Amino acid sequence: MPPVPTDTAAPQPPASPRRDAAAAAAAAAPAGSAGVRGEAEGAEPPAAGEERAVTAPLVGPPGPPKAAAPERETWTRQMDFIMSCVGFAVGLGNVWRFPYLCYKNGGGVFLIPYLLIVFVGGIPVFFLEVALGQFMKQGGIAAWNIAPLFKGLGLASMVIVFFCNSYYIMILVWGLFYLVHSLTDTLPWATCGHAWNTEQCAELFHLELCRNGSVNASAGTGPFNLSCADLASKRSPVIEFWENKVLRLSGDLSEPGEMNWQMILCLVTTWVVVYFCIWKGVKSTGKIVYFTALFPYVVLILLLVHGVTLPGALGGIVYYLKPDWSKLAEAQVWIDAGTQIFFSYAIGLGALTALGSYNRFHNNCYRDAYILAVINSSTSFFAGFVVFSVLGFMASEQGVDISKVAESGPGLAFIAYPKAVTLMPLSPLWATLFFFMLLVLGLDSQFVGVEGFITGILDLFPQPGAGSLRRELTAAVCCVVCCLIDLSMVTQGGMYVFQLFDNYSASGITLLWQAFWECVVIAWVYGADRFMDDVARMIGYRPLPFMKWCWAVVTPLVCVGIFVFHVVNYKPLTYNKTYVYPWWGDAIGWVLALSSMLCIPCTVLYKLLRCKGSLRERWQLLTTPIWGHHHLEYLTPEAEAKLLAPEPPKEKAMLFETVI
């Protein structure tokens, strides 16, 4: 027997020696099997491809239970879990990224590659992460005790979600800033003449009217005649408010400039709100998400009802859905669909695993995965009607094509939509509603992400006797550290720093790399059939075989294809299509990306080198799962007999051996 490695991920729970032996023997079962199985003499093996209705016990024989370890906190109601997942996965990307991608990539035709990749990539990995957390009852790091050699997957997800928590909150900070400035009679970005406006500010101008060399425009001082050359250099008050008042943008990444005290105040306020949403754990988080997850839908419906009554709204919606079948032949369309799914489903961040770990052991996470996928994708599609009804109105008012006003990301939230609001009656009311929705929509994604990170840290250093004070202090330290990092983003060069984090630390490349290895480890190291049996122990039946084939073959191929496309088509980062980042800026970005990606190979190499024995012995030992106390409690033969329906009587019965 090879020696036990010195870097075991977590101590075994107290149990009798024979039960420990049973757990270890069952854990060491070859990948693809649910445990050690035997057949009675004369019994025929099942036909090839036949699904087994009953799975073998993971743990050994029943006996008097030992002193129980403290039970893990669970959701008060299962709907708390659904709402938390909706709040986390349904975020700003559904509102400001999907509609733009849909219009850009062929309108309604984009739904074909989108839905296809949802079923072969989004749902399988989403279900894998939730089921893994529920089965292991651990957060993003300790859940990979299922294959300790690849615990770097948990570390990588924690690095990604930490970076994501650090920069994502800036969107909420900007949203809060706009919300405060919406509480006025006249929106400050609707007019010129403010301290942050320049001489180039012009409120209303139509470049398409430039035929005779001059046109009337309206600036802060009144109407006057301008040549088309002069008019082309004019700037909208919306853009000047964004760049000169909110960002106070400097000219280069190397020019951080001064900090904006108003933005610092918004930053601290936002982090305080996030802290008090998660400091007491899932019991408090589960209550808050009912508001933060549902309220944005109320506002989206109000905005849609108002938007479709505006002139030009129908043209915008037609532009959103008008199919262009030729786009299906372009690789970029499929890449955009895959990247959007991995972003909007919040895959690879470890937070879904953390949320799943608070489920009751027999919760039907398979059903939940499909429900959440339908909610997520339907929200994205619905948001497109809201966005393009307003953009159609905006294009109609300005007399330009919709392609001239269509934006995605911060450009939509802080330039295009604020501009459209200024053209509406009761503009402060609609601006307040929009930015409050934006704030709430991003808030639950933020605090659930922080919850996932804290869960991973606490599970990495378990102290069963510690009270809630330990959790509250950990949450406080996490929020303070992230807030200090965010101070670099409230400077005059803060937008350049924000883009570095956004494009590298939690980019498509890092998420695809993470999802690829998650599928490979579960399907080929632990065993796809074996994990399907584990799921059957929880939910009472085996999921469709389609799921295991996605984990084993289809999803990894999709991830590799999109990953290679991103690498081959890599271009240096730019801001606003004009400023090109210096080489050292891109180098910092790659350091952010590799800091998570290298966690996986480095951890594998470290564990293999530190363990003793032959390479085969090391592999066998380091891929043997470390089971938790709940496995001993729930997965005894009696518990499984109650969970799974008995097989109909057969002439030749199959017997399943239990290792003693």
Annotate 608-641 with DSSP letters as a single string.
Answer: HHHS-S-HHHHHHHHTS----HHHHHH-SHHHHH
Q: Give dist(CA 393, CA 397) in Å, integer.
A: 6
Instruction: Of 401, 407, 409, give the one whose Cα is nearest residue 419.
Output: 407
pLDDT tens for each residue of 208-230: 555 445 444 444 444 445 555 56
Residue 222 backbone zone (phi > 0: left; psi -120 to 50: alpha; other: beta): left
- Residue 53: per-residue pLDDT: 37
Beta-strand pair 214-219/579-580: unpaired
Residue 577 pLDDT: 77
Asked if residue 437 lies in contact with residue 295, where contact means CB atoms within 8 angstroms, the answer is yes
pTM across the whole model: 0.80
In the predicted structure, residue 162 carries a pLDDT above the cut 90 = yes
Closest by CA position to 515, among listed 94, 153, 88: 153
Residue 489 CA to residue 264 CA, distance in Å, equals 10
- What is the torsional sign of CA 591, 595, 598, 603? positive
- Three-state DSSP state, 594: helix
Q: What is the pLDDT of residue 590?
A: 93
Q: How far apart are CA 141 and CA 155, in angstroms?
A: 6
**201 has a pLDDT exceeding 90:** no
pLDDT in tens, 109-160: 888 999 999 999 999 999 999 999 999 988 888 899 999 999 999 999 999 9
Q: Which residue has the tokens 């619905």?
A: 382
Q: At what angle do helices 365-398 and 282-307 cross, to 10 degrees?
A: 40
How much is the pLDDT for 14?
Answer: 38
Q: Once rounded to an integer, what is the mean pLDDT over residues 361-379?
A: 92
What's the mean pLDDT in 68-81? Answer: 75
Q: Taking each helix axis as running N to C, give the angle between helix 528-539 and helix 123-136, from 0 to 180 degrees, rounded to the nearest 10.
A: 70
Query: What are the structure tokens assigned to 306, written together?
Result: 């108002």
- Rounded CA-CA distance 136/625 in Å is 10
What's the number of CA atoms in the CB half-sphere (13 Å) around residue 229? Answer: 0
pLDDT at residue number 226: 55
Contact 14, 509 (CB under 8 A): no
Query: Encoding tokens for residue 264?
Result: 């610092």
Report the percentage of the chain scoring pLDDT > 90: 32
Would the pLDDT of 276 be above 80? yes
User: According to the model, what pLDDT value does residue 70 have?
Assistant: 58
Tell whether the model's pLDDT for residue 68 goes beyond 60: no
Range from 208-212, 278-282, 477-481 carrying the lowest mean pLDDT: 208-212
List the one residue out of 83, 80, 81, 89 whose CA is nearest residue 442. 89
Residues 241-261, mean pLDDT to the nearest whole number: 88
Structure tokens that stand for 36 in this block: 């050690």
Provide the angle, in degrees to the nearest 10, between the axes of the packed helices 615-622 and 599-610: 120
Least confident range from 135-139, 396-400, 636-640: namely 636-640
